[in-house]
Every structure is written in C-alpha cells, then in structure tokens.
Chain A
Amino acid sequence: MNMSEVVSLALIAGLLAVDDRAGWQGLFAEPVFSSLLVGMVTGAVGPALHVGVVLQLVWLSIGQARGTRRPNVVVGGLVGAGSACLALQRTGDPSDAFIVATAVFWGLLAGEAGALIARAASGWRERRLGEFRLPATAEAASRDLTLAVFGSALFVGAVDALSVLVMLPVATLATVAFTGRVAGAAAGAAWWLTSLPAIALLIMAQAFYQTRSVARFATLGLLIALVAL
C-alpha cells in the first residue's frame, strides 16, 4: 500500500469535508463525484466510480435528511473508493466484483463510524463556538470572527482527514486479507452488489409517490427509460 496515496486521499477528504459541512456544498463530497477524484489520484477510475455509484444509490435516501442520522458521506466515499483502488494495486484483478463489493461495505461502515466521530468532535467545537463573545473594538471583532469561521472550517476538515487516514489502510488491508480466502464470497458479493440498487428503487418510490402530481413525473421517466434503454 502506497502511504503517499493514503495521505493524499486523507487531504482530499479534508478539503471535501470543508465543502460539505463548512463551505458552499457544491456536491464535490458526494461519493459519485469524490470517487472520480479518488480514481484520478490512484489511477483506477473505473473501480472507484463503480464503488462511488453504488454508495450514492444507497445514500440517495439521506439526501434530504439533515441532522444526526446522516452518515458521513466524505469519509464513507473516500474509504470505499480508496480501499477498492488500493486493494486492486495489491491483488491485481482476480475478482473485481468481490473487491468492489467489499469496498462498498467498508464505505458504508466508514460512513456510519465517520458520522459518530464527527458528531463527537462537533460537540467540542460547538461548545467553543457557544462561548464566542463579540469583542468591543471593530478590529478585534473582525479578527475573532475570521478566526472562528476559518478555525472551525479547518477543524471540520482535519477530523475527516484523520478519520480517512486511520480507516483507509485498515479497510484496504482487510479487503486484501479476505480476497480469495472465503468460499462463496465472490458469489455472495456479486449478489449483494446486484441487490443494492433495489434500495435506491425503493427510496425513489417512497420519495416520489407521496403526491400524485410528482408521481406522474416519476412514472413518465420510468416508462421512457424502460422503453428507450
């Protein structure tokens, strides 16, 4: 495993976390886009994007969720796509579906673990921000506000970067260790990968079939795709 690639991916995670939770939320942190970055860094765009799309399909459900139940898509996406690419560098390409499926699994777990870590770190950060008092002079107020904003953004990025720095090597080594060693694992992994888009189907049905007018648009899109594709 190339440690310079792991560090690069951790730094990317930090930047993406700033965009996702401290910046303008430009979708760079969503797995379907972050996996493209991971693929370009590691030189394996195809497998990275495969992992990213599957993670995105599963996480489409949390698109509108705001608050504590949202997994950490930055950590999940980077660990998922990153572990697939780094594991493929070690193993070659003996069972692509198995490596992609295992990477998606690590991505999902890392998303949950990353959310727990970010929540715990956020508690400390929020307590500090809650104690913020505006200084009496304009210069001091300007300085303290800038420090609070950029310090807080940096903290958010650092927490996710450290999470990826720890989780990515573990996920990669675990993927490499399991590859080709468990009977039926490749078939099971392939089935699992096949079944995951079903979750996206369900989520879309639940989201769009609540109001009749919206359901009509969704049905129209479904029929056009079924006929044309």
Chain B
Amino acid sequence: MSGQLTRRDLARVFTRLLFLQATVHRRGMQNIGLMHALDAAAPRLSRNGTSLLSRHAEYFNTNPHMAPLVVGGVLRIEEEAESAGPASVSRFKQAAASALAAAGDVFFMGALKPLALTLACLSAIYSFFPGLVGILVLYNAAVFYCRYRGITLGYARGWGLVEAFSRPSVQRLLGIARGVAAFAGGLLAGAILSRARTDGITTVAILLGVTGLAWLASRRGITAPRVAVILFPVSWIVAMVLK
C-alpha cells in the first residue's frame, strides 16, 4: 500500500470506526467518533496529533457503513496536507459525506438490511434455522467487508472517491440491489398469502380486511406498530361478543 500508513494502522482505524455511532449527538453528530478513529493514525500522519484532530472537531455525519470510505479519504488528504491544506480536508468531508450518505442509505438501509430481514423472516416462518444463522453470518460478513474495503479504497483514492461514486454504474448497482430486496419482499408476501390460503377462507378474509384497515390508518399517519396495538383489544372484544 503506497503511503505512510500500513495495513495495521488502517485496521486500527477500522476497529475504532465500528463504534462511530456510540457518540452521535445533535451538535456535532459523529465528530467525536471520527476524532477517536483518526486518533489511531494521527501520530503517524502529523508531529502534532492534537492539531490534526482539532481540524475534525467540526460537524460530521454520514451513513455509518460508508464512513470508512470517507475516513480513508481523509487519511490520504491529511497525509498530503502539506500541499492541499486544511480547507481541502473540510471540503472533501462535506462532499464525500453527503454523497456517500445517500448511497449508503439506499444500499444498506433500503436494500441489504430489508433483504436480510425478509429472508430471515422467511427462514423463521419455515423453521429453517441454518438459513437464519447463515443470513446473520452473511450480512455481517458483507458489512465488515464493505467497511474494511471502504477504508483501504478511500485511502488509495482520496479525492478520486467522490468522482468514483458519482458514476452512473453506481446508481445502476443501487437500483439492482433495491430490485433484489423487492423480489425477496414479494416472496415473503407470497409465503404469507400461501399460508393464509391453506388455513382457510376466513384467514384470507381477515388478512385482506386488516390490510385495508391498516392502509386507511397509515393514510392518517398512524404507524404500523400502533395499528397492531390498537387491533389487540379490538380482536378480544369481537371474540368476546361472538362467544
């Protein structure tokens, strides 16, 4: 790896970044977590590590799974700070953090996490325990790989990172990931309906009726968990009346 930092240094920064979310607060969001991660490499990058850290006391917020990419880029720019200057680091953080936050939200929160949870629900419904454990292992392996690869890629590319993530191919990849999650969602919906069909017409009728009711409630801004809580006493009352 070209640069002052070794793989061991990057691994230390990576480990600290696992706890980036621990110190999220309104004023600076992830700034304390960022400083904590940079502190692992600061002595190698600057003779005055505290002045390097103090440049990063400003507001910082991005998707936690994409943060290693940004931090990798920050390490590269800090290494080249002699020529670029502190303003460049600040501009890079702003540009990369917001671009990668959007991509990270779409990929991790909008595709990978729903995909894993949907497949986990399917495995649990059919009591397929190896599937359940396998999904957990695969999801964590994917997250760890993306995070570690992120820090090495960010460190290798520096400013080039922003350009790399602005390419249309990245958008296409995000679209495919969302499509796969939607496919799994369709499978789960089909599995629920299939099971209801085998339970009889009453179950299908209850399912469809409650779906309509939940749809009306969601249009009035009532969240799904609250609809579920409201339905609990209603079910009891209906059952007691019919008894």
Contact = CB atoms under 8 A, between A and B. Distances in A.
Given A136-B50, A141-B50, A148 B240 contact: no
Interface residues of B, number: 94
Nearest to B110: A64
Given A22-B21, A130-B27, A188-B237, A57 B121 contact: yes
Interface string B180-217: 10111111111111111001000100111111001100
Given A198-B211, A201-B192, A192 B240 contact: no
Interface string B103-135: 001000110011011101100110101001000
B120 A217 contact: no
Interface residues of A, number: 95
Given A24-B143, A27-B113, A30-B117, A222 B54 contact: no
A19 B150 CA distance: 20
Contact of B26 (A26, A59, A69, A126): A126
Contacts of A66: 109
Given A196-B228, A226-B190, A188 B236 contact: yes
A218 B19 CA distance: 35
Interface of B: 16, 18-19, 21-23, 25-28, 32-33, 35-36, 39, 42-43, 48-50, 53-54, 57, 64-65, 105, 109-110, 113-114, 116-118, 120-121, 124-125, 127, 129, 132, 136, 139-140, 143-144, 147, 175, 178-180, 182-196, 199, 203, 206-211, 214-215, 218, 223-229, 231-232, 235-243
Interface of A: 18, 21-28, 30, 32-33, 36, 46, 49, 52-53, 56-64, 66, 69, 71, 101, 104-105, 108-109, 111-112, 125-126, 129-130, 132, 134-138, 141-142, 145-146, 148-150, 152-153, 156, 182-185, 187-189, 191-192, 194-208, 213-226, 229
Contact of A153 (B22, B109, B211): B22
Contact of B120 (A56, A62, A108, A109): A56
B182 A208 contact: yes
